[in-house]
Amino acid sequence: MTESFILAIDTSCDDTSAAVTSGRVVCSNVVASQTQLHKKYGGVFPTVAKQAHRENLEPVIRAALQKAKITWKDLAAIAVTQGPGLAPALEVGIEKAKELALEKNLPLIPVNHIEGHVLSSLALRPPRRSILATSSTEPQLPALAVVVSGGHTEFVLVKKIGEYEVLGKTVDDAAGEALDKFGRMIDLGYPAGPVIEQFAQQGDAQRYPFPLPMTTSGNANLSFSGLKTAARTFTEKMQADHTLTKQEVYDLCASFQYSVFRAITYKLNKLLPPLLLGQPLFGVWLGGGVAANNILRQTIRRTIRPYNLQLSVPYSKKLCIDNAAMIGVVAGYKLERGEVMRGAEIQSVERLPRFEV
C-alpha cells in the first residue's frame, strides 16, 4: 500500500480530535478534551461542547499535521465523523471539513463514528522508518466487534470491512452512560467510568448483588436502565441511613461495574453458540471508551476463551475513548474503495446524529 495521508476530524461529543493516518497506520492523534468544562454539569452540555469545538478545532488540526510532519499538499483526503453524536457538536467538525476539502481541493470522506470504534483495534502504530507502507496482514473475517462506550453498546458482526450487521444493542442507556450516572449518585465526578475502575480494584464485587437484566428477552439486546434504577434505590437507602464509608463506596463501585460487565458477557454467551454454528469467527474486537477498562477486557477474554476466540483491543487506550485516528482508519478503507465525495457533492454532506452502523 502506498502512502495516502488522510486528515481525520471527530467532534461527535465532548472531545475535539484530529489525526493523520495512512491506511491503518496512525501518524498522529491529537485530542483536546473538554472534560473540565462539562464537569460542573455532570455530563456533556451540547452548546458548551459546540463552542469549545469551535475554539479547539483549528489548533488541534494544526497540531495533528505538525506531529505527523506533513503539510496540506501531502494529503490525499479529509475525513470527518458524520454521526452519530450530538448535532451541534457534529456540525462544527463537518463544516470545517467541508470548508477545508473545498479550499484545498481534496476529496471528503464522511465516516460513521461507531464504525470508527468497530475498527479501532485494527489501528497500527507508526513504524520507525519513513515509509509508512506496512507488511501487516489484513484481519481474517468475519469477526465480532463489541463496542462499549458512553453513547453506544452493541455487538456488530463484521462480515467484510464496510459490511456490518448489528446483532444486538442496548435498548436504553449505554454501558458507559450507566457507569457515569451511577458515579453521579455517589459523587464520583464526570466521567465516572475511570474512577469506578480504580475504586473497584479495592472493592468486593459480590457485596451488593444487583440484578442481571434482559435474561428473558431471547435476543442479544442489552439494557442498563433497570440496573441503574436498582442501584439508585439501593444507594439512596444506604445514604439516607448513613454517610457512605470509603469501603462501601469501593464495594458499590466493584459490584455495579461487575453487574454492567456481567450483562455484556451474559449476552455474549447467548450470542456466540448460534453464531458459530452458522460460520467461523476469526476474533472478537473490543472498542469504545469503556474498552479502556482492564476488568472488562479480562471478563470478555475469559468469556470467549472456551470458544477458542482471541480478543483484540486498540494498541493504546487513547484509541478507545473518542478520537479521530479511528475515523482515519475507516476512511483509509473507504479511500481504497473509492468511496469519497468530490467537488459539488461535498456541500451535500449533512450531520446524521442518529446514524447507524
Q: Which stretch binds ligand KG4 (CB under 6 A): 44-52, 147-155, 206-214, 330-338?
A: 147-155
Residue showing cell 465532548: 14
Query: What does 93 interact with, of Zn ion, ligand KG4, none (CB < 5 to 8 A by kind)?
Result: none
Of 149, 235, 303, 323, the one binding Zn ion by CB under 5 A: 149
User: Cis (ω within 30 of 0) for the bond into 194?
Assistant: no
| Burial of residue 306, with CB atoms counted within 10 A of its CB: 0-12 exposed, 13-18 middle, 19 or more buried | exposed
Query: What does 321 interact with, of ligand KG4, Zn ion, none (CB < 5 to 8 A by kind)?
Result: ligand KG4
User: Whole-angstrom Cα distance, residue 322 to residue 81?
Assistant: 11
Q: Which long-range contacts (CB under 8 A, 24 or more apart) does 88-91 make?
A: 88/46, 88/47, 88/49, 88/50, 89/11, 89/12, 89/13, 89/14, 89/46, 89/49, 89/50, 89/53, 90/11, 90/12, 90/351, 90/352, 90/353, 91/50, 91/351
Q: Which long-range contacts (CB under 8 A, 24 or more apart) does 249-253 make?
A: 249/186, 249/199, 249/203, 250/199, 250/200, 250/202, 250/203, 250/204, 251/203, 251/204, 251/207, 251/208, 252/186, 252/203, 252/208, 253/186, 253/188, 253/195, 253/196, 253/199, 253/200, 253/203
Q: What is the footprint of Zn ion within residues 289-348 (CB under 5 A)? A: 322
With H, G, I as helix, E, B as strand and everything else as coil, classify residue 336.
Answer: helix
Q: Which stretch binds Zn ion (CB under 5 A): 34-42, 69-77, 146-154, 265-273?
A: 146-154
Nearer to Zn ion, 107 or 116 (CB): 116
Cell numbers at residue 321, please? 475513548
Site mask for ligand KG4 (CB under 6 A), range 304-343, x = bound: -----------------xx---------------------
Of 176, 203, 213, 328, the one binding ligand KG4 by CB under 6 A: 176
Site mask for Zn ion (CB under 5 A), range 100-139, x = bound: ----------------------------------------
Contact call for residue 191 and ligand KG4 (CB under 6 A): yes
Contact call for residue 194 and ligand KG4 (CB under 6 A): yes
Q: Which stretch binds ligand KG4 (CB under 6 A): 121-129, 138-146, 155-163, 191-199?
A: 191-199
Q: Which of 266, 322, 332 is nearest to 299 (CA)?
A: 266
Of 23, 107, 142, 150, the one binding ligand KG4 by CB under 6 A: 150
Query: What does 197 interact with, of Zn ion, ligand KG4, none (CB < 5 to 8 A by kind)?
Result: ligand KG4
Q: How far is the CB of 294 from ligand KG4 (least distance, A)?
A: 8
Contact call for residue 168 and ligand KG4 (CB under 6 A): no
Nearer to Zn ion, 149 or 170 (CB): 149
Q: How far is the CB of 218 from ligand KG4 (least distance, A)?
A: 27
Q: Are 78 and 101 in contact (CB under 8 A)?
A: yes
Q: Which stretch binds ligand KG4 (CB under 6 A): 137-145, 185-193, 215-223, 298-306?
A: 185-193
Residues that bind ligand KG4 (CB under 6 A): 13, 149-151, 176-177, 179-180, 191-194, 197, 288-290, 292-293, 321-322
| Chain contacts with Zn ion (rule: CB under 5 A) | 149, 322
